[in-house]
């Protein structure tokens, strides 16, 4: 009786003071939100550290000139009001010589010379060679520099130095789009023989679309079989689909080297069957063909699995009902069955396309010069040429292109309709 009385008293008190109920409800909701935030905090921190921070660093490198302004600090101040239309003043030349002497002693002249060489190929040797003689140069410094190397009589090298010591520059993005600035500061296309990056972007897009289409054409029948066959046969086929995941990517790509080369297994079979002559062996490797074949094989499971997950949920009674109402099997398939597989088709195509557009290892091994993608040149600038600014600009443009395509895909198909499993 006492317990019932206490409960009645508490109920009565809450009914008398509705503000207490609101406060307790607000506290409960706040507690749930805090708990939910704490649950996702580790994932948020991981995404921030592993993805957001590198993206921000990449964006910063794509517009940052580096330490050029710190090394040639006198020249940066002296060139502030120089228009660049003619040779610089004696004051600017004196400042550059003083900076060269200091940079030579600090062993930092190579950084500036390398950066200037990105804008003006061949200028690195001019700057480093002049820096070795800078200590002995005397006024008038413009004449002394021209005596040390006649290249200093060309205003273009001075303009390139001024651009290299600016804190922020668009030059890396211009170079990534095969553009440059002329002596007047106008943005123009580089010479046709130097235009490579737009071609690479277009090739990457075309090959990615082709690989995605082939994966869909090859993966759809396999997924249909997986969803239609009895369990014991479907399990065996699923093992064959998943088998490539149990082999290292490098091993699978290397295996294609043995299969596709001129004296490889595939050409030997074609010659044995009389389809081609021994002197007419097909060139299936170190070109775009090798890249498409190897990448299609590697990415095919990423199309099959989303398709299978959707097809498995489609009841066969729909097609039977359509056929019982007089529809031909092909009409029932295209009008009833196929529309229900769109979420799996969209998921598989999006997944394969995003993976293929940034693929690196396979094109590097089997692509040759015709099968290289933009990711291979990003790696080249990071590992060999050390032009991290250009690599960051190329990466940022590639990321922006993927986000735009993702936005278009969302508008046309709808991300909410994707079904990965």
What mean pLDDT, rounded, does the chain reach?
86
Token pair for residue 256? Answer: 């294609």
Q: How far apart are CA 336 and CA 260, in angstroms?
A: 40
pLDDT in tens, 298-332: 999 999 999 998 888 888 888 888 888 888 888 88
CA distance to 18, 214, 356, 365, 380, per residue, from 256 (Å): 74, 17, 17, 10, 23
Question: How many residues make up the chain in this entry?
Answer: 421
Could you tell me the pTM of the whole model? Answer: 0.81
Q: How far apart are CA 99 and CA 79, in angstroms?
A: 13
- Asked whether the bond before 140 is cis by omega within 30 degrees of 0, the reply is yes
pLDDT in tens, 325-370: 888 888 888 888 888 888 888 889 988 999 999 888 889 888 888 8
pLDDT of residue 14: 46
Residue 4 above 70 pLDDT? no
| Residues 58-62, mean pLDDT to the nearest whole number | 87
- CB-based burial of residue 317 (10 Å sphere; 0-12 exposed, 13-18 middle, 19+ buried)? exposed
Domain 197-417 class?
Answer: mainly alpha
**Longest CA–CA separation in the chain, Å:** 111
Q: How confident is the model at residue 420 (pLDDT cuts 50, 70, 90)?
A: low
Q: What DSSP line would sit under 129-191, residue for residue?
A: HHHHHGGG--SSHHHHHHHH-GGGGSHHHHHHHHHHTSSB-SHHHHHHTTEEE-TTS-EEEPP
pLDDT of residue 1: 47
pLDDT in tens, 380-395: 998 888 888 899 999 9
| Residues 241-264, mean pLDDT to the nearest whole number | 86
Domain edges within the chain: 2-61, 68-169, 197-417
Q: How confident is the model at residue 6 (pLDDT cuts 50, 70, 90)?
A: very low
pLDDT in tens, 266-293: 888 888 888 888 888 888 888 999 999 9
CB atoms under 10 Å from CB of 328, counted, come to 11
CA distance to 45, 219, 283, 294, 310, per residue, from 257 (Å): 41, 23, 12, 9, 35
Q: Which of 355, 358, 349, 353 is nearest to 223 (CA)?
A: 349
Residue 295 above 90 pLDDT? yes
Q: How far apart are CA 150 and CA 122, in angstroms?
A: 13
Token pair for residue 180? Answer: 């440059």
Q: Using the 8-state DSSP alphabet, how is residue 337 labeled?
A: I
């Amino acid at each position: 009786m006492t317990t019932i009385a206490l409960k009645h008293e508490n109920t009565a008190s809450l009914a008398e003071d509705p503000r207490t109920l609101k406060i307790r409800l607000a506290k409960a909701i706040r507690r749930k939100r805090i708990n939910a935030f704490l649950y996702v905090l580790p994932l948020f921190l991981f995404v921030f550290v592993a993805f957001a921070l590198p993206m921000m660093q990449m964006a910063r490198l794509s517009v940052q000139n580096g330490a050029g302004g710190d090394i040639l600090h006198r020249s940066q101040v002296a060139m502030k009001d120089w228009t660049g239309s003619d040779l610089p003043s004696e004051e600017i030349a004196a400042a550059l010589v003083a900076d060269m002497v200091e940079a030579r002693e600090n062993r930092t002249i190579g950084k500036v010379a390398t950066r200037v060489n990105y804008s003006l190929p061949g200028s690195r040797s001019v700057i480093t060679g002049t820096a070795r003689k800078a200590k002995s140069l005397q006024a008038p410094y413009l004449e002394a520099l021209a005596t040390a190397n006649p290249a200093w009589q060309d205003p273009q090298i001075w303009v390139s130095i001024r651009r290299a010591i600016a804190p922020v520059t668009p030059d890396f993005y211009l170079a990534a789009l095969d553009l440059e600035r002329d002596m007047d500061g106008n943005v123009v296309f580089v010479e046709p023989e130097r235009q490579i990056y737009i071609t690479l972007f277009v090739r990457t897009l075309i090959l990615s679309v082709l690989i995605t289409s082939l994966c869909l054409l090859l993966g759809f029948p396999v997924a249909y079989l997986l969803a239609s066959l009895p369990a014991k046969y479907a399990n065996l086929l699923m093992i064959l689909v998943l088998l490539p995941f149990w082999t290292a990517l490098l091993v699978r790509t290397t295996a294609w080297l043995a299969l596709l080369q001129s004296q490889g297994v595939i050409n030997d079979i074609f010659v044995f069957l009389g389809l081609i002559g021994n002197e007419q062996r097909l060139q299936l490797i170190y070109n775009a063909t090798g890249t498409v074949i190897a990448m299609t094989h590697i990415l095919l499971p990423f199309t099959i699995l989303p398709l299978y997950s959707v097809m498995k949920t489609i009841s066969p009674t729909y097609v039977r009902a359509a056929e019982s109402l007089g529809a031909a099997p092909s009409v029932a398939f295209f009008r009833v069955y196929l529309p229900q597989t769109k979420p799996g088709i969209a998921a598989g195509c999006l997944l394969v396309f995003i993976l293929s557009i940034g693929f690196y290892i396979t094109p590097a091994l089997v692509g040759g010069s015709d099968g290289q993608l933009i990711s291979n040149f990003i790696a080249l600038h990071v590992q060999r040429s050390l032009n991290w600014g250009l690599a960051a600009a190329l990466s940022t443009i590639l990321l922006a292109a993927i986000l735009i395509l993702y936005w278009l895909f969302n508008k046309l198909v709808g991300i909410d309709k994707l079904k990965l499993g």
